[in-house]
Amino acid sequence: MKILNELLDLIFNLLERYWMVALPLCFVGFLLAVWVLGRILKGKSASHESGVSRGQARLQRTVPMSLRRLPPEHYKIYNDVYVPRLDNDGNTRLHHVVLSRYGIFVIQDQPENGLISGGLDDREWTLIQEDGRKRFVNPIIRSAYHVKALAKYLDFPEASLFPIIYFDSEPRFEAQRLPYMLTEGLGRYIISHRVEVVSQEELDDVALKFACLTSHRNPEVAQQKHQAARARRLRQTRERAA
């Protein structure tokens, strides 16, 4: 403790005697510290911009971006469409629907990224990731339900409706993968359907029904009702299983 006090006294004595030299040195040290801090912040900014660029590159693979590239004169796009369930117990949500003379495409988003296993007829599939396992509804069954619900609502033949399951990431499949289960090339897949299966008159009728379906609809309210009905059905399922 005595040595520390002596050292501090020496430093103060030196500063008192040579303050005219010490003051410029302190100022230079301050400027150097500011410069170093600026370089560090600039490096973090560059890293952030690089991360944003990677995020934008991934966004270009999402369904809305892909659908916007379709020729608008041939394809009409609808997002977040709610149609009555087959049992009329609330609505079911269709992520995206594309109307065209070449068919009605019902697109389902799948965010899962990892190893996916499950059979075609299994009610649930398993997603395996580093942090564990997660069960989710078989997208094939879910997509088929959406097609049936939309066909019933439109009073339209199912043969003219085409399901698409689109994984925005790049999962690995142990489950059997069907041709309409995509991880890329969504627009190309839609455009590859070149046989006209819907007349212009039928297409106009369908577009009119969609206009009635989406007009005066609050998306937030529709989603809240959808989630509430879904929660109620899950609760009833658990009660029956108990």
Burial (CB < 10 A; 0-12, 13-18, 19+), residue 162, is buried
Both 85 and 185 in one domain: the answer is: yes
Percent of the chain with pLDDT over 70: 63
Average pLDDT, the chain: 78
Give me the domain span that covers residue 48.
Answer: 2-57
Number of domains within the chain: 2
Q: Which residues contact 148 (CB under 8 A, 6 or more apart)?
A: 86, 158
Both 199 and 117 in one domain: the answer is: yes
Q: Which residue has the higher pLDDT, 234 or 142?
A: 142
Structure tokens at 66: 């892909």
Structure tokens at 141: 């069954």
- Cβ count within 10 A of residue 60: 9
What is residue 132's predicted lDDT score, i.e. its pLDDT? Answer: 87
Both 48 and 82 in one domain: the answer is: no
Both 92 and 22 in one domain: the answer is: no
Residue 151 amino acid letter: A
Mean pLDDT calculated for residue range 48-64: 45
Both 192 and 172 in one domain: the answer is: yes
CB 83 within 8 A of CB 92: yes
Percent of the chain with pLDDT over 90: 47
- Cβ count within 10 A of residue 77: 17
Both 74 and 176 in one domain: the answer is: yes
Last-in-domain residue among 35, 57, 79: 57
Q: What angle separates helix 200-214 from helix 139-154, to the nearest 10 degrees?
A: 100
Both 131 and 14 in one domain: the answer is: no
Both 103 and 140 in one domain: the answer is: yes
The model carries a pTM of 0.66
Last-in-domain residue among 16, 38, 57: 57
Both 47 and 71 in one domain: the answer is: no
Name the strand (E) or helix (H) holding 115. strand 115-117
What is residue 63's predicted lDDT score, i.e. its pLDDT? Answer: 86
The percent of the chain in helix, strand and coil, each rounded to the nearest 5, is 50, 20, 25
Phi, psi of 199 (to 5 degrees): -75, 165
What is residue 64's predicted lDDT score, i.e. its pLDDT? Answer: 85
Among 139, 113, 141, residue whose Cα is nearest residue 127: 113
- What single DSSP character describes residue 168? S
